[in-house]
Amino acid sequence: MSLRPIVIHPDPRLKKVCDPVADLTDELLRLADDMLETMYDAPGVGLAAPQVGVLTRLIVADAVKDPNAEPKPTVMFNPVVVRASDETNVYEEGCLSIPDQYAEVTRPAEVRVAWIDRAGNPQEADFAGLWATVLQHEIDHLNGKLFIDYLSPMKRQMMTRKSQKYKRERARA
């Protein structure tokens, strides 16, 4: 496994609608492992393939917050929200592609997600709490949508400028 460099906003690759996965090739399974390693290393609770520059419908997540609890590395190919609750939840969200910036986002509190697991089997399950938020955030990435797209244009512009500055400084370092 190896760490993959994370694409920082603004970047055209973060605005693209990603392609569905047709076959679970060894290359894709390796990418999923690399993404999990990159996510844990960051550290983060979720990562989508476009964030490592691959425009494919693949996300990884582990929203287990308790450090004493068993980790739950989760890999989802072609994930789709098939049902969302009317009830909403507000979380302070961040994104590994927009470092060190956070904002409150309102989303459905519970979602049912369908996906293909790493063995190629279709799965479907209900998610609540942080899991629901993380999965919706990551699935948005596959449609070229960032959490800052839910904010006011002014706030979005401010966060984009900060991220751009971060990127310039990182490039110089």
Q: Which residues are catalytic?
A: 138
Of 49 and 95, which has the nearer Cβ to Ni ion?
A: 95
Region near Ni ion per CB under 5 A, out of 1-9, 65-73, 80-88, 91-99: 91-99
Region near Ni ion per CB under 5 A, out of 11-19, 62-70, 76-84, 88-96: 88-96
Residues in the chain: 173
For residue 159, the minimal CB distance to Ni ion (Å) is: 12
Of 7 and 95, which has the nearer Cβ to Ni ion?
A: 95
CB within 8 Å of 91: residues ≥ 6 apart: 104, 105, 107, 130, 133
> Which residue minimizes CB distance to Ni ion?
95
Max distance between CA atoms of the chain, in angstroms, equals 46
Of 21 and 59, which has the nearer Cβ to Ni ion?
A: 59
* Cβ density class 119-157: b for 16+ within 10 Å, e for less: eeeeeeeebeebbbbbbbbbbbbbebbbbbebbeeeebe
DSSP states of 56-79 as a string? BSEEEE-----TTSPP--EEEEEE
Region near Ni ion per CB under 5 A, out of 35-43, 89-97, 126-134, 149-157: 89-97
By CB under 5 A, the residues from 92 to 111 that bind Ni ion are 95
Q: Which two tokens stand for residue 92?
A: 């302070």
User: Of 21, 55, 17, 53, which Cα lies nearest the Cα of 38?
Assistant: 53
Of 51 and 78, which has the nearer Cβ to Ni ion?
A: 51
For residue 141, the minimal CB distance to Ni ion (Å) is: 6
Footprint on this chain of Ni ion (rule: CB under 5 A): 95
